[in-house]
Amino acid sequence: MNDLVVVGEGLTGLFAAWLAAKRGARTTLIAYGRGGLELSSGCLHLASGASPRLGITSSRLPHPYALVGVGTVLRAIQALLDLLEASSLPYSGSLDTNMLLPTAAGETIAAAFAPHSLARSDLAEQGTMTIAALTGFRDFDAALASRRLAVRLERSIATLDLPLPGPAPRRDLYATDLARRFEDPQWREETCRAWKPQLIGVRKLGLPAVLGLRHHARVMQAIEEALELTAFEIPTLPPCVPGLRLETVLREACLAAGVDVLEGAKAVGRVDGRGSSARACGVVAMTAGGPQLYDAGAVLLATGDLLHGGLVAQQNGLIRESVFDLPVVHNPDRATWTSPHAADPQPYASFGVRVDASMHPLDDRGEPLLPNLYAAGGLLAGARRTDEGSRQGVALSTAWRAVEAAIP
Amino acid sequence: MPALSTQLLVIGGGATGLGIAWDACLRGIKVVLVEQSDVGQGTSGRYHGLLHSGGRYVLSDPPSATDCARENEILRRLAPTTIEDTGGLFVAAPADPADFPDRWVAACQQTGVAAEEVNLAAVLQREPLLNPSLARAFQVGDASLDSFDLLHLLCTSIRAQGGQVWLRHKVHRLLMQAGAVVGAEVVNLASGESTHVGAHLVVNAAGPWAKTVAALAGVDLPIALGRGAMVAMASRLVNTVVNRCKPPSDGDILVPVGTVSVLGTTDEHVESPDDLTIAAWEVDLLLAEAEVLVPGIAAHRALRAWSGIRPLYRPAPAAGAETRALPRAHTILDHGVTHGIPGLVSVIGGKLTTFRLMAEQVMQVVTPRLGVAAPCRTADTPLEPTGRPYHRLPHRLGHLEHPHDPPAPQVICECELVTRPDLEAALAAIEAPDLDDLRRDLRLGMGPCQAAFCGYRAAGITLRTLDAPPLDGGLAAFLQERWRGLRPLAWGHTLRQLEFSRRIAAELLGLTDAPEAP
């Protein structure tokens, strides 16, 4: 018997499972696919605008921030930052000011907290920089990253193409391939030797975010020493390595805390209707070996939004929650779901499950559906996380609040 | 202002205009063709990919059926690299009118459209996803045709014969002299520079924009615009073109084109040639009708929707609002005769399958005016081979797996296997290209991921290759264009794909209009 079953292993699910296990709960994490962290820049986006704190405190219901409050956001972030620090993946930043970080397309993104390697690119800092692409690596282009940025910042940004030593690969390399290569000391040293002559006079060098995965801190330090400069990273097309570093730390923390992780299994909710009030009694996990029952004192849904499968949109205008078939706040007219322009805010982004301040999913009358069922993260209604720049803030704070309520 | 003179000025770079220019070239006529956008940006590039056998028109428009049957054969000889010989089927569903197939077969015989009843068991063996309870099936000579390839072939052939094709040139005004059209002032949309093109005769082949062009000469052309929506399913559900054997209506064809299957079409009256919106009901209707042909089709992934505008000649007084009831056959107007304005000929309507015949008929009007006696040669002059075979993904895969010159080139678009050398060559070949031109040339971004990855990569290459590229290499505009085609299908997997692309663009690349921190 589990105290808690968490469904989903994105940022929300991993963080919640780790928190619950740390609180002493017997916790099982069940995931069908890999969460969304390979689509993540690795930064903790809380709210865009100059001050993340202001963005959070000015949120109104039904936004999840208005349910949890800024104090919960702060506690959740601090818990994660402490874990990251202890796991050699230190972050910097603050709740009061957003950093402005350059992207691979020469745009900027606001982030409250970022891993050191990204935080160093904060455009609030003056000074010259050089941005380098790696020859043959398709998913980061120095010209695209620098031209628009140079116009915006009104400073010149030099660009370089740096070679990757060794025989030509037999296929095109992804960011994760390169990250693993950089963890090989011999290859890394050879690479730095090959780069050095091209970097004379360069003091601050921007590279695609491929400088190591698990041993990123060591790789970063070795490269800076060998090249005698300050390096920073810019996120690439997915798989995005800084997001995967975050995933690695959380996954390992879960396992170390005793979380039982079951991957590749779809979960179907189970409800016990006997007695006077119905309760969630666990899930059925559809494993390769057939359906398995997982009993639990409480269930936390961290299955994500429409992209990740927590919500499923149908042609007939219905949007369904995929584990317990919970009611989903949405407009049933399919034609209203999207905006004509891709860059505009999208109505579908705020569809989701409505919850109370303890993260209990609510029925149409606003009453908790089941006393021991919780939902957090992308599954929740009311936040437009891409447009608000609130994705990680919503994930972490609602996970924190749900675990607090489920494992008192 | 720079000036030049030519015998014939053709306005419009669709199949009609290019066909006319090609016909003129072969008769030794000096020709300039101007197109306001890129080739295939209008109706010709926004079609379903069906090279008609004629079967669709045997009852509704018998002369068109005969024309289609004849031109179908000719096109297979002239441009074999643009056509995949899928063959076609006309199938009667259980609920379709039972007396229709016999009337249809009789009409096929009368119009010279080859059609043969085939055994249903054999049909189902060949096309196992088709509805097993079909009532009857007939085999016809339909095929699928890549219109982008055909238009590019025409372009290349015209230029090789000394004709000129000016892309991104818009007619600003028609030059008039003593009540006659004697040429046009043409603006280069890239540079803003104008040129006076003097011409003995101007042909208006602007398709849905023909009314606008004619208005420049003070002529009010009665043109009705019918918008048709199409949906591409992400996989090839059939290998044969499938038509419903019933009176033509919405959603009655299924065409395998390359890696996808195209469902077509609807017919909505619209006012503007630029109104390419697609309503939810149109998509629902196309999928519901396709369900009759391929049960369970709605569970397959829909890739993209688009629409094209059919221009149809509708002389007053209007009979009714429904545009499908209007004749599909084309109309040629010599404005010297019809409006007392010599020097201008308009051609309206028609279909891609019969573009060559239309061009020949237009030139029958044009040549006496130019005093040219040379006969038409388009029916027996193959279009210049470009050395590019009919596009098939396995062909590109073969190149990658067994490169002539190892190592294998970088793959920029994984879905359609477009390589860096392909892109660089295309960029060098086109004047003032953007990513959407590369898409039409190479199928860049047309696969399941709809440019989520290759858009960024290709934008970087554009930035490095072109002299004056946009700051973002055209990425934002390209992604917006992809968004437009996914939006009508935004549910299920397609909505996930849409959100996936948006997440990459907004959260990793920062391409968003949301307010940003100071």
Per residue in B436-470, pLDDT tens? 888 888 889 988 889 999 999 999 999 988 888 88
B418 compared with A170, residue with greater pLDDT: B418
What is the pLDDT at residue B243? 97
* pLDDT digits 0-9 by tens, A90-103: 999 999 999 999 99
When CB atoms are compared, the residue of A110, A170, A386 closest to B502 is: A386
* pLDDT digits 0-9 by tens, A228-244: 999 999 999 999 999 99
Put simply, whether B484 touches A (Cβ < 8 Å) is yes
What is the rounded CA–CA span in Å between residue A170 and residue A183? 20
Tell whether the model's pLDDT for residue B78 goes beyond 60: yes
Given pLDDT bands bounded at 50, 70 and 90, which one contains residue B328? low
DSSP B504: I
Closest residue in B to A105 (Cα) is B509
Q: Tell whether domain B3-43+148-222+326-380 is in CATH 3.50.50.60.
A: yes
Across A328-334, average pLDDT: 96
Given pLDDT bands bounded at 50, 70 and 90, which one contains residue B319? very low
Given pLDDT bands bounded at 50, 70 and 90, which one contains residue B329? confident
DSSP B165: E
When CB atoms are compared, the residue of B476, B487, B508 closest to A103 is: B508
DSSP B434: -
Q: Do B511 and A100 touch (CB under 8 A)?
A: no
Average pLDDT in chain A: 96
Put simply, whether A313 touches B (Cβ < 8 Å) is yes
* pLDDT digits 0-9 by tens, B472-487: 889 999 999 999 999 9
Could you tell me the two tokens for B59?
């009852």
Average pLDDT in chain B: 91
Put simply, whether A170 touches B (Cβ < 8 Å) is yes
Put simply, whether B509 touches A (Cβ < 8 Å) is yes
- Which pairing describes strands B253-257 and B302-313: parallel, antiparallel, or unpaired? unpaired
Given pLDDT bands bounded at 50, 70 and 90, which one contains residue B86? very high
Q: Do A306 and B495 touch (CB under 8 A)?
A: yes
Put simply, whether A212 touches B (Cβ < 8 Å) is no
User: Which domains can be identified in chain A, with CATH numbers?
Assistant: 2-89+244-406 (3.50.50.60), 91-238 (3.40.50)
**8 A C-beta contact, residue B165 and residue B21:** yes
Contacts of B460 in chain A (CB under 8 A): 141, 143-144
CA neighbor of A107 nearest in space, from A160, A168, A170, A153: A153
Which of A109, A134, A144 to mutate to test binding with chain B, by most B CBs within 10 Å of its CB? A144
The CATH H-level superfamily of B84-143+224-313 is D-Amino Acid Oxidase, subunit A, domain 2 (3.30.9.10)
What is the pLDDT at residue B442? 87
Closest residue in B to A309 (Cα) is B496
Contacts of A313 in chain B (CB under 8 A): 490-492, 495
Q: Do A141 and B457 touch (CB under 8 A)?
A: yes
DSSP B139: E
Question: How is B234-290 classified by DSSP, letter by letter?
Answer: SS---SSEEEESSS--TT-EEEEETTEEEEE---EEES-TT-----HHHHHHHHHHH
Tell whether the model's pLDDT for residue A172 goes beyond 80: yes
CA–CA min distance B118, chain A (Å): 35
Could you tell me the two tokens for B133?
């309870």
* pLDDT digits 0-9 by tens, B210-245: 999 999 999 999 999 999 999 999 999 999 999 999
Q: Do A342 and B480 touch (CB under 8 A)?
A: yes
pTM value? 0.92
Which of B283, B449, B464, B491 to mutate to test binding with chain A, by most A CBs within 10 Å of its CB? B491
3-state SS, chain A, equals CEEEEEECCCHHHHHHHHHHHHCCCCEEEEECCCCHHHHCCCCECCCCCCCHHHHHHCCCCCCHHHHHHHHHHHHHHHHHHHHHHHCCCCEEECCCCCEEEECCCCCEEEECEEEHHHHCCCCCCCCCCEEEEECCCCCCCHHHHHHHHHHHHCCCCEEEEECCCCCCCCCCCCHHHHHHHHCCHHHHHHHHHHHHHHHCCCCEEEEECCCCCCCHHHHHHHHHHHHCCEEEEECCCCCCHHHHHHHHHHHHHHHHCCCEEEECCEEEEEEECCCCCCEEEEEEEEECCEEEEEEEEEEEECCCCCCCCCEEECCCCCEEECCCCCCCECCCCHHHCCCCCCCCCCHHHHCEECECCCCCEECCCCCECCCCEEECHHHECCCCHHHHCCHHHHHHHHHHHHHHHHCC
Q: Do A306 and B476 touch (CB under 8 A)?
A: no
What is the pLDDT at residue B515? 40
What is the pLDDT at residue A170? 82
